[in-house]
């Protein structure tokens, strides 16, 4: 991943962040920390230093060992950092210990991602999901956040002479309010989920093929969506730019296809975030085909990590059994030798460029080929007295290739879902007679 300037508002200075990570012995520090640095810059934080400790697992109390904690304190102060960014999800004790040691704000990997999500959520549903995920993350950590008030119990039973009676601490109040808010948010998201299911049933009824774009974050999925469907989705060069699912349509060979862009994946996407954003990821689950986009310009060793990250998340949400079509994007940034190497490594995979539109027509054709057996080109003659049946046909939402009003009824040529053919079998006409619709008679 290339280093770039932090995303900050004009006229403001980026927050100075110090990165710390516990990695396995023999790990490639540069490669392992590239992602946390990219996350930091997306959140508007400038990495001003970093410290790595190599050990089998993080210290249970302070994340890094005792000696390393002293080293961290010294380096953090020398860098004049304002916050500590930890490339792991911290337990409440680890978070509290680090904050006490540095007397500074500590942000772990999950909290950092949530902060980015909060910046990029635009829809009402996306904002609800962000708030829910933040509350679920903060709830078990509230004790440390209110430690000073926990020592000042106000009128709580069992708190000592003169302090018995009804009442609760600020910590208990906040926990109760947080749980209540979580319940409300879940109910609202359930309502939105039912609305999505209704829309999904409409898609299924019309048999409109749905393709979900999946891939590592920042591989150009939104740019590809725009290029294939003439949409205007935001395509800024930053992680998790597309948080809310966006569905647009394109046509090929007279058929309509729906393409959905969802949130990009990263390595070690926290499990709680996957659960919290299940509503967004449901669009992937409901798809007929997953179009897995790879960044062809990425270093070879990163390609394996990106593929593994996407496959892990797809498996976690139960989408690993769906059919997948792989496509290599950004080939405009790859030289001829690199393209040949990619062709050998991913045989049969289309090489495309959403930016220059190279290979996009072939991609549309490849998608259409995936669904070719779902539809059949038919010719129908519907008598005028059976107008209700004609209305049923149009309600399927299928594109009509040809329509002509004849003396005997309405002649229709269209591609119908195979499962709908029995409903219209009475009106099917012979292939050989298609050239003269005015003489057609329904095979009744």
What CATH number is attached to the domain comprising 330?
3.40.50.300
Is 349 in the same domain as 217? Answer: yes
Q: Is residue 264 part of a domain?
A: yes
Residue 12: band (very low, low, confident or very high) from pLDDT cuts 50, 70, 90 = low
Is 128 in the same domain as 109? Answer: no
Q: Is residue 198 part of a domain?
A: no
Average pLDDT, the chain: 80
Task: For residue range 259-295, list pLDDT tens digits in order.
Answer: 988 767 777 766 666 665 665 566 677 788 999 999 9
Is 253 in the same domain as 355? Answer: yes
pTM above the 0.85 mark? no
Tokens of 429: 């006409």
Is 20 in the same domain as 143? Answer: no
Is 309 in the same domain as 245? Answer: yes
Q: Is residue 76 part of a domain?
A: yes
* pLDDT at site 431: 56
Interior angle at CA 243, CA 349 and CA 238, nearest 5: 75
Bridge partners of residue 19, in order along the sequence = 50, 85
Q: Is residue 7 part of a domain?
A: no
19 vs 130, higher pLDDT: 19
Distance of alpha carbon 220 from alpha carbon 169, whole angstroms? 49
Q: Is residue 2 part of a domain?
A: no
Is 235 in the same domain as 331? Answer: yes
pLDDT at residue 441 tops 60? no
Is 111 in the same domain as 154? Answer: no
* Beta-carbon contacts of residue 424 (< 8 Å; ≥ 6 apart): 378, 380, 389, 393, 416
Is 356 in the same domain as 411? Answer: no
* pLDDT at site 442: 41
Is 93 in the same domain as 36? Answer: yes
Q: Is residue 1 part of a domain?
A: no
> Residues 57-83: what's their mean pLDDT?
94
Per-residue exposure over 347-385, b if at least 16 CB sit within 10 Å of its own CB, e if not? eebbbbbbbeebbbeebbebbbebbeeebeebbbbbbee
Domain boundary among 101, 116, 131: 116
Interior angle at CA 323, CA 319 and CA 327, nearest 5: 105
Give the number of domains in the chain: 4
* pLDDT at site 152: 44
* pLDDT at site 211: 92
* pLDDT at site 164: 42
Task: For residue range 192-238, list pLDDT tens digits in order.
Answer: 777 766 665 655 555 678 898 988 878 888 899 999 998 776 555 55
Do 127 and 121 touch, CB atoms closer than 8 A? yes
Closest by CA to 258, choosing from 156, 91, 406, 397, is 397
Domain boundary among 189, 221, 245: 189
Q: Are strands 105-108 and 289-295 parallel, antiparallel or unpaired?
A: unpaired
pLDDT at residue 154 tops 50? no
Is 212 in the same domain as 261? Answer: yes
Q: Is residue 411 part of a domain?
A: yes
Q: Is residue 200 part of a domain?
A: no
Task: For residue range 303-349, list pLDDT tens digits in order.
Answer: 888 888 888 888 877 778 888 999 999 999 999 999 999 999 999 99
Task: For residue range 163-174, list pLDDT tens digits in order.
Answer: 444 455 777 888
> Residues 379-390: what's their mean pLDDT?
89
Is 213 in the same domain as 172? Answer: no
* pLDDT at site 87: 93
Percent of all residues in the chain with a pLDDT value above 90, rounded to a whole number: 31
- Residue 386's domain spans which residues? 374-439
Closest by CA to 352, choosing from 405, 295, 390, 426, is 295
* pLDDT at site 365: 93
Is 246 in the same domain as 393? Answer: no
* pLDDT at site 438: 43
Task: For residue range 38-53, list pLDDT tens digits in order.
Answer: 889 888 899 999 999 9
> What is the side-by-side order of every strand in the sheet holding 375-382?
375-382, 410-417, 400-405
CA-CA-CA-CA torsion sign (53, 59, 64, 67)? negative
Kindly report the CATH number assigned to the domain that includes residue 111: 3.40.50.11060
Distance of alpha carbon 82 from alpha carbon 99, whole angstroms? 12
* pLDDT at site 272: 62
* pLDDT at site 157: 43
Q: Are strands 105-108 and 83-86 parallel, antiparallel or unpaired?
A: parallel
Interior angle at CA 4, CA 333 and CA 223, nearest 5: 45
Domain boundary among 159, 189, 219: 189
């Amino acid at each position: 991943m290339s280093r770039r300037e932090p995303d900050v508002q004009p006229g403001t200075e980026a927050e100075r962040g110090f990165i710390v990570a516990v990695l396995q012995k023999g790990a490639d520090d540069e490669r392992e920390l590239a992602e946390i640095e990219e996350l930091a810059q997306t959140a508007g934080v400038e990495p001003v230093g970093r410290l790595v400790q190599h050990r089998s697992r993080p210290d249970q109390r302070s994340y890094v060992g005792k000696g390393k904690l002293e080293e961290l304190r010294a380096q953090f102060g020398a860098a004049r950092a304002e916050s500590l960014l930890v490339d792991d999800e911290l337990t409440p004790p680890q978070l509290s210990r680090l904050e006490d040691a540095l007397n500074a704000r500590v942000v772990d990997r999950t909290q950092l991602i949530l902060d980015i999500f909060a910046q990029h959520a635009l829809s009402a549903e996306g904002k609800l999901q962000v708030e829910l995920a933040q509350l679920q993350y903060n709830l078990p950590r509230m004790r440390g956040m209110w430690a000073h008030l926990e020592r000042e119990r106000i009128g709580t039973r069992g708190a000592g002479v003169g302090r018995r009676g009804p009442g609760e601490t600020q910590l208990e109040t906040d926990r109760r309010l947080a749980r209540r808010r979580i319940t409300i948010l879940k109910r609202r998201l359930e309502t939105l989920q039912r609305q999505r299911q209704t829309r999904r049933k409409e898609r299924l009824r019309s048999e409109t093929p749905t393709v979900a774009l999946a891939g590592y974050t920042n591989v150009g999925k939104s740019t590809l969506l725009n290029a294939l469907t003439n949409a205007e989705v935001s395509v800024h060069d930053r992680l998790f730019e597309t948080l809310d699912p966006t569905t647009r349509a394109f046509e090929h060979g007279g058929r309509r296809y729906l393409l959905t862009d969802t949130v990009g994946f990263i390595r070690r996407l926290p499990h709680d975030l996957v659960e919290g954003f299940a509503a967004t990821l449901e669009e992937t689950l409901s798809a007929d085909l997953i179009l897995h986009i790879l960044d062809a310009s990425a270093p070879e060793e990163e390609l394996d990590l990106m593929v593994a990250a996407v496959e892990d998340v797809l498996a976690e949400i139960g989408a690993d059994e769906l059919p997948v079509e792989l496509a290599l994007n950004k080939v405009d940034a790859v030289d001829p030798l690199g393209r040949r190497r990619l062709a050998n490594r991913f045989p049969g995979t289309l090489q495309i460029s959403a930016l220059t539109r190279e290979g996009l027509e072939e991609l549309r054709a490849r998608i259409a080929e995936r669904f070719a057996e779902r539809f059949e080109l038919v010719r129908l003659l519907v008598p005028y007295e059976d107008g209700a049946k004609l209305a049923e046909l149009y309600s399927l939402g299928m594109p009509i290739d040809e329509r002509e009003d004849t003396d005997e009824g309405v002649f229709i040529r269209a591609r119908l879902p195979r499962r709908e053919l029995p409903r219209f079998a009475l009106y099917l006409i012979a292939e050989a007679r298609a050239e003269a619709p005015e003489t057609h008679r329904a095979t009744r």
